[in-house]
Amino acid sequence: MRLTVGGRTPNLASCAEWSRAPATSPPSGPAGAAIDHYMAEVQLRPGESPPAAFARVRVRLLAYDIFPSAFMRFAICPAGPTRVGATIVQRIQCGPLALEAAVRVIEVWDRQESGGQEAGFRYVTLQGHPECGIASFRVRVDEAGVVTVGIEARSRAGLLLTRIARPIARVVQRLGSESALRRLARS
């Protein structure tokens, strides 16, 4: 985690620094992790078909347009949609100060499944992130035409500060995940 002053969106210098950071967890998640699951049904726009709603949310999801910008700003390095090996620099603004951390995309999928279609990605936190763990984000349309979004996180405190302030860190983590889920389901 890095404390920065000014500048709401991470820049190329942030990308270069974070892209060299090692992962903090194996792809299965860290030992002793808290596991959180979030799921919501996507609200269809008037006249929108389930496949169109799936496609709309898929584009936002793979562009990492997930969290409200009032909560988090980000940069994908290299620029473009999420892809395996990309680094996502995350910045949470707190007045004139910002907390910056990063994650690395370790899996991306866009596949037909029996009775439906699913797209999503998984990332792992990088050294210096307040949390140590992995998170998966997905959108799915089933054979009945129900479109859902889901988030799964497996994490534990990654820094001394988040171990000391664990109850507060968990509240912030849950609020962030819930706001992302609402934003994707209602966008």
| Tens-digit pLDDT profile for residues 99-151 | 899 999 999 999 998 889 999 999 999 999 999 999 999 999 999 999 999 99
- Specify the CATH number for the domain of residue 122: 3.30.530.20
Task: Give the number of other CB atoms < 10 A from CB of residue 28.
Answer: 9
Q: Which domain holds residue 77?
A: 2-186
- Pairwise CA distance, residues 86 & 75, whole Å: 10
**Is the pLDDT score of 7 beyond 80?**
no
Strands 97-113, 147-157: pairing kind: unpaired
Helices (H) and strands (E) counted in the chain, each on its own, are: 4, 8
Percent of the chain with pLDDT over 70: 97
Residues constituting the chain: 187
Q: Output the pTM of the full model.
A: 0.91
User: What is the number of structural domains in the chain?
Assistant: 1
The pair phi, psi for residue 64, each rounded to 5°, is 60, 30
| Arithmetic mean of pLDDT, 79-92 | 95
Q: Predicted confidence band at 162 (pLDDT cuts at 50, 70, 90)?
A: confident
